[in-house]
Structures are given as structure tokens and as C-alpha cells.
């Protein structure tokens, strides 16, 4: 089966297989932790009888395949389990925290993708014109190598010295105050987008340089077309797909970075929730947040894969020929 329907089916099947593998790895890894889930309730000095009672209460006395299928079945139906510490449904606690993380990730993406693409195109076109682009390479390498928490610390210090009152202010939900919430999220989003901007810039620059080998680019330069004409007519169409792809891949980096950024800026999001769960050994919450992050990454990559075939139909044609 070929065409858009076949490509969509392949992408969805790959995404589903990836999620099955992720859930298996998470389930096996967390169940292999010494002490077991019941240790959160009982500690390490409880009797074997107490451990057996709690394991039966949590359903941990069932065979592992049965536990896994029950857990995955709950995920499919929207039941992520219950927190061992708060005894509240995990889905309810995530519903409160997810908007903050989504707002942070979206704002960081809005900053990193356009900024990185612009820097990458500028550096690539400068190279095409025979001008030095060392500054662009240095900037890209620097932004891709400096840890998020270092960027966050520097930005907080600079903003504090400048008297920006937003620094240290408590989180305000976007639904309550869109402008105020966005302003308070600006520093965290800038911190989170720093690494992603460098990755997008380097990928875009490499894509622009790859276009240089095409005959139409040689003809465009020989005809004396302006830089803007070259970018508009030739570069943008050929680098759009790499930009979309790397933007989706950066979702994983943004979600991973959110774990640190939310702690630094005291944002009550999923990242902070996951870190607290790890520290408290709240294993059902850890499993749920890992699967949620993996699902976001897989969905973003699947959408990028599908979009790539529509942005550049040659990509889908090459894949069909390869098969």
C-alpha cells in the first residue's frame, strides 16, 4: 500500500510499536527496583506479613504479565493509576500540572524554531556567498553545549540585577491571566529554548549547505540573484522538512529540560511532579510521567514524519523506492 494512506499507516504502526516497547521497558525497570512498591507504605523494617498484605492490596501479588496488561489497559482507558503518597488518581494530578508544562514547551518551541531557523539560514547563506560564518558556528556550538540550568541561573541573575519584578513571582495559569502568565514564563522559556535553538540552527545550516551542491543553486548564484531571492525561491522549500523534523525531535529535549527548568523557577508542572515522585519513590507516578513524556515525543515525531511527506513529496517518493 502506497500513497498518503499507506505512509500514514506505516507511521502509526511504528508509533504504536514504539509505545509498546516503552511501556514494557518502564514496567520492567520500575518493578525491578529493590524494595518494591509496598516499601513506600511500610518502609524497610515491616514484617513479611505486612508486605504480603500491602502487595495484595495493590495487586502486586498477581503475575507480572497480568499486572502489565492491567496497567496498559488502564492507560488506554485514561486510568493512569493512583499515587502512593496522595492516594489521588494520577490523571487528576496531571490535569492540574500539564497546562503549565505545555505552556512552557510551546513557548520554548515558538522561540527556538524560528530563531534557530533564521540563524541557520543566515549562516548557511553567508557560506554560500563565500563570506565567513565562523560566528554562526561558534554561536550554534555554544548554545548546544551549555546546560539549561546554567542558562537559567545566568538569566535569573541578570534579570534580578535589572530589577525585573517577574523574577521569583509565583506561577499564574494562562487561563486566568494570559499576558501575565506569558510574561512570567518568558525567562523559563528562554532558558529552555537555548539548547534547542542551537540544534535547529546547526541542522538548518547543514541543510542550506547541502542545497549548495544542487545545479539550480549554482545557476542562481551565477545569474546574480540577490540573497533574498535565493532564500525565498530555493532555500526555504528545501530546508523546510529538516526544520520540521528537528523541531519535533527537540520535543524530547524540551521535555527533559523542563524537569530542571521547572525546579529552578518553581513552576508547578509535570517535570516538578516527576522529580518529586522520583525522590519520594512514588513509582506509579514515575511510570505515568515517563510514559506521558514518551508519548509526547512519539506523537511529535509521527506528526513530523507525516508533515515531511506533504512538505516535500520527494521524501515520500524516495521512501517508496527504497522499500
Residues 113-140 have pLDDT tens digits of 899 888 888 887 777 655 555 555 666 6
In-domain check, residue 7: no
In-domain check, residue 73: no
Judged against a pLDDT cut of 80, whether residue 190 lies above it is answered with yes
Model pLDDT, residue 25: 93
In-domain check, residue 192: yes
Backbone CA torsion sign across 218, 220, 224, 225: negative
Tell me the residue length of the chain: 323
Cell of 170: 509565583
Highest-confidence segment of 106-115, 135-144, 161-170 = 106-115
In-domain check, residue 234: yes
In-domain check, residue 143: yes
Pairwise pLDDT comparison (115 vs 161), residue with the higher score: 115
**Whole-angstrom Cα distance, residue 166 to residue 184?**
6
Q: pLDDT tens for residues 306-319? A: 876 666 655 554 44
Domain that residue 238 falls in? 94-281
Which domain CATH number covers 170? 1.10.3720.10
Mean pLDDT, all residues of the chain: 79
Backbone CA torsion sign across 41, 47, 51, 57: negative
Q: What is the 3-state secondary structure (H, E, C) of the chain?
A: CCHHHHHHHHHHHHHHHHHHHHHHHHHHHHHCCCCCCCHHHHCCCCCHHHHHHHHHHHCCCCCHHHHHHHHHHHHHCCCCCECCCCCCEHHHHHHHHHHHHHHHHHHHHHHHHHHHHHHHHHHHHHHHCCCCCHHHHHHHHHHHHCCHHHHHHHHHHHHHHCCCCCCCCCCCCCCCCHHHHHHHHHHHHHHHHHHHHHHHHHHHHHHHHHHCCCHHHHHHHHCCCCHHHHHHHHHHHHHHHHHHHHHHHHHHHHHHHHHHHHHHCCCCCHHHHHHHHHHHCCHHHHHHHHHHHHHHHHHHHHHHHHHHHHHCHHHHHHHHHHC
Model pLDDT, residue 16: 92
Q: pLDDT tens for residues 21-71? A: 999 999 998 877 776 666 666 666 666 677 677 777 777 778 889 989 999
Model pLDDT, residue 22: 93
Query: Structurally, how many domains does the chain consist of?
Result: 1
Highest-confidence segment of 157-171, 190-204, 253-267, 303-317 = 190-204
In-domain check, residue 290: no
Judged against a pLDDT cut of 90, whether residue 20 lies above it is answered with yes
Q: Are 143 and 133 in contact (CB under 8 A)?
A: no
Model pLDDT, residue 141: 65
What average pLDDT does range 227-241 have in this prediction? Answer: 75
In-domain check, residue 86: no
Q: List, in order, residues 6 or more apart from 49 with CB less than 8 Å away.
A: none
In-domain check, residue 104: yes
- Cell 499486572 sits at which residue? 67
Model pLDDT, residue 133: 54
pTM of the model: 0.78
Amino acid at each position: 500500500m502506497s500513497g498518503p494512506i499507506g505512509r500514514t499507516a506505516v507511521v502509526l504502526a511504528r508509533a504504536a510499536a514504539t509505545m509498546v516497547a516503552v511501556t514494557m521497558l518502564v514496567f520492567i525497570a520500575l518493578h525491578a527496583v529493590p524494595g518494591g512498591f509496598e516499601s513506600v507504605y511500610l518502609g524497610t523494617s515491616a514484617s513479611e506479613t505486612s508486605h504480603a498484605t500491602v502487595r495484595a492490596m495493590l495487586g502486586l501479588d498477581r503475575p507480572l504479565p497480568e499486572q502489565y496488561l492491567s496497567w496498559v489497559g488502564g492507560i488506554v482507558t485514561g486510568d493512569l493509576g493512583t499515587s502512593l503518597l496522595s492516594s489521588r488518581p494520577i490523571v487528576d494530578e496531571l490535569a492540574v500540572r500539564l497546562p503549565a508544562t505545555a505552556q512552557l514547551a510551546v513557548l520554548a518551541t515558538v522561540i527556538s524554531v524560528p530563531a534557530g531557523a533564521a540563524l541557520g539560514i543566515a549562516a548557511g547563506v553567508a557560506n554560500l556567498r563565500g563570506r565567513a560564518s565562523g560566528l554562526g558556528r561558534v554561536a550554534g556550538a555554544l548554545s548546544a553545549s551549555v546546560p539549561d540550568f546554567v542558562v537559567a541561573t545566568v538569566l535569573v541573575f541578570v534579570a534580578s540585577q535589572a530589577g525585573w519584578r517577574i523574577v521569583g513571582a509565583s506561577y499564574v495559569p494562562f487561563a486566568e491571566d494570559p499576558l501575565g502568565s506569558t510574561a512570567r514564563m518568558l525567562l523559563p522559556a528562554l532558558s529552555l529554548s537555548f539548547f534547542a535553538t542551537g540544534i535547529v540552527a546547526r541542522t538548518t545550516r547543514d541543510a542550506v549547505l547541502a542545497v549548495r551542491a544542487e545545479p539550480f543553486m549554482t545557476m542562481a548564484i551565477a545569474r546574480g540573484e540577490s540573497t533574498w531571492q535565493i532564500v525565498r525561491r530555493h532555500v526555504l522549500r528545501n530546508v523546510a522538512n529538516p526544520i520540521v523534523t528537528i523541531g519535533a525531535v527537540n520535543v524530547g529535549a524540551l521535555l527533559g529540560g523542563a524537569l530542571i527548568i521547572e525546579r529552578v523557577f518553581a513552576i508547578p508542572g509535570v517535570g516538578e511532579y516527576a522529580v518529586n515522585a522520583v525522590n519520594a519513590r512514588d513509582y506509579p507516578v514515575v511510570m505515568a510521567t515517563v510514559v506521558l513524556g514518551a508519548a509526547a515525543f512519539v506523537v511529535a515525531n509521527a506528526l513530523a514524519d507525516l508533515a515531511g511527506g506533504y512538505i516535500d513529496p520527494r521524501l515520500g517518493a524516495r521512501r517508496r523506492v527504497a522499500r
